[in-house]
Amino acid sequence: MRLERDHLPTQKPVEGKLVLHVDRVACLFARVADALPTLLHRKTPDSEPWRCVPWVLALAFLVRSAIALSNDFVLHPDEIMQYLEPAHWLVFGNGVKYWEYFYGARSWLIPGAIGGILKLFDAVGLGQPSWYVPGVKLALCAISLAIPAGMYVFARRHFGEYPARVALVAGAFWYELAGFAHKPMAEFLATAPFMGLLALVVRPSVDDRVWWWGPVLAVLTAALRMQYAPLAAVLLAILLLRAHRRIPMLLATAGTVLAVGVFDAVTWNGGLFHSYVLNLRFNLVHASYLGDESPPWLFLLWLALASGGIWAICVLESLRNLRRYGFVLALIALALFLHSAQEHKEYRFVFVVIPLWLMLGADAVTRVMAEMPARWRRCGKGLVAAVFTLVSSAGILNLLPYQQLVYFAAWFPETGHTYFVRREDPHFAAYRYLVRAAGVKSVWQRDLVYAQTPGYYYLHRNIPFYDARAANDLVPDQKAAQNLVSHIVSSARDGAVPGYVLEEDFGSVRVLRRSDNNAPVPRWHSHTPIMVTEFAADLVRRIDPTAPRPPPHAGIRFLCPASSDGVSGNRTGCSGYSVESGRDVR
């Protein structure tokens, strides 16, 4: 008994300290929760919701659709490489497989969703590019409407009804939000659930009807664009502080995160979050090779150039009233900091900043108008509308000063054809022609590598498709090319190709046809060329020494004319079959 009594006094202080720490955490938690109304600047709207909201969104969809259907351009090769081409392979069985999908470094969330749209079109007999290409674009345009809708809902509770109306119009018709709406890029798609999450943050209460939406939108934002995870985490933490049912919300968050991890594991037949872990490790290793690729202030310059300087005016004006604009400014600063800290920079990475600074500008304009004398107010509104229309119209026509400098990865242009409604990349017209042309047995894109081509997504033929590198590996001379390729897509400046005649001219791009196109061409074992650079393969092997090596000749294997067995490993591609002569020599 004495021993037990001796130990009792030593236990009580420990328990007391634990209770004290818990009380302190609870007190800090309560203080942060009490400060949220000031941080969010939440207020009751000063008038009824705008009746024109559905009409503005409908008009925004029409504008986005018109831009999407008027032109084809590639902002960045990832658009086709990482999203459209894998979706096409998933549904139709042919498509170029890039290193991310060879090693499993990308999630199937976006390609899987696009694949679902392609499957739907194919199921109703519309599985042709003339149908599914515009269909996918229109579906993405519809998803993008969540951005201006989220801007209106957030601004209405954060700033007021009239600033929200200006924000809605700005989000509906600003040229970047409209011009990139049909692009399947992770940044553009992740901004939609982010804006929905931002709108939830300023709701009057986080009640039973919406508490589960927060975890879903936050996790979806992070799953689509991993670098947006800190932004989503901040908003989700605010929702948790405001929620009455925190435990269910935490459980919903954990369940949604686990669902993403399981989806990744199942689709890649690997561990939980397989693609996210590999992608993160790859980028960490890759960063050590970049050195001083780009300065940290590059995003500030790009935002200024892309907006004609308007973004800088909006941010500087907002700095004068941190109490009112501090929350939005903090989100902008966090997004810019996260992406400026990494060496590799592309303007699309900070797409989420665009609706944020537009909302700042919407409120600033409304407040300036309110302070004007009544007789000048109408002129002021007209001037603001004119400037917005002028800059946005110039942007969609690529007429803003130095605008083309924005569409670079660091200091290097990605495509050279980033035009929203003008100067369509003629390669897309050439591929649309090849889809319907007669006698197309195989295609050689003579002057581009796979990553710069429209790919099988636009070609949509179950035929051999060679890029500049693959053909150079397999074709020793021009004469051998005639035995391998029926049609060539080439730059007009490349001159004549012996054995081929001009079939169609698309300005700077030509489609050439083999003079004698009656002879067959070697068939492939499967129409899934594998594009893995040695640099990417070396970096992956640094992460995982057991990672497979990419196959030779882009994994292209021919089917023998006299046999159905595909044999790989040499240039002939088939035992006893000669690419040079195009005949069986056994």
In order along its 586 residues, the chain shows pLDDT tens digits of 444 444 444 545 555 555 554 455 455 545 555 555 666 666 667 778 899 999 999 999 999 999 999 988 887 888 998 999 999 999 999 999 999 999 999 999 999 999 999 999 999 999 999 999 999 999 999 999 999 999 999 999 999 999 999 999 999 999 999 999 999 999 999 999 999 999 999 887 766 667 788 999 999 999 999 999 999 999 999 988 888 778 888 999 999 999 999 999 999 998 999 999 998 888 877 766 666 667 888 899 999 999 999 999 999 999 998 889 999 999 999 999 999 888 788 899 999 999 999 999 999 999 888 887 777 877 888 888 999 999 999 999 999 998 888 886 544 445 556 788 888 889 999 999 999 999 999 999 988 888 889 999 999 999 999 998 877 777 666 667 788 899 999 987 777 788 899 999 998 899 999 998 888 889 999 999 999 888 888 888 888 888 888 988 888 888 865 443 333 334 444 544 455 544 443 3
444 backbone dihedrals φ, ψ, rounded to 5°: -120, 115
Residues 479 and 397 in one domain: no
Domain-located, residue 411: no
Residues 24 and 151 in one domain: no
466 backbone dihedrals φ, ψ, rounded to 5°: -110, 140
Domain-located, residue 564: no
Prediction pTM value: 0.88
Residues 204 and 74 in one domain: yes
The Cα–Cα gap between 420 and 403 comes to 12
Q: Are 188 and 351 in contact (CB under 8 A)?
A: yes
Residues 89 and 21 in one domain: no
Residues 400 and 437 in one domain: no
Domain-located, residue 451: yes
The Cα–Cα gap between 297 and 257 comes to 33
Rounded to the nearest 10 degrees, how much is the dihedral formed by the CA atoms of 551, 555, 556, 560?
A: 70
Residues 12 and 88 in one domain: no
Residues 127 and 20 in one domain: no
Domain-located, residue 539: no
Residues 264 and 333 in one domain: yes
Residues 220 and 298 in one domain: yes
Residues 6+ away with beta carbon under 8 Å from 164: 45, 50, 151, 152, 153, 154, 155, 156, 362
| 443-445 vs 487-491, strand pairing mode | parallel
Q: Are 403 and 413 in contact (CB under 8 A)?
A: no
The Cα–Cα gap between 453 and 451 comes to 6
Residues 114 and 203 in one domain: yes
Residues 192 and 64 in one domain: yes
Q: Are 511 and 463 in contact (CB under 8 A)?
A: no
Listed residues 371, 406, 441: the one ending a domain: 406
Domain-located, residue 288: yes
Domain-located, residue 545: no
| The pLDDT of residue 562 | 41
343 backbone dihedrals φ, ψ, rounded to 5°: -70, -45
Domain that holds residue 110: 53-406
| Cα–Cα–Cα angle for 30, 34, 37, rounded to 5 degrees | 150
Query: Domain tally for the chain?
Result: 3
Residues 266 and 330 in one domain: yes
Q: Are 360 and 320 in contact (CB under 8 A)?
A: no
Domain-located, residue 558: no
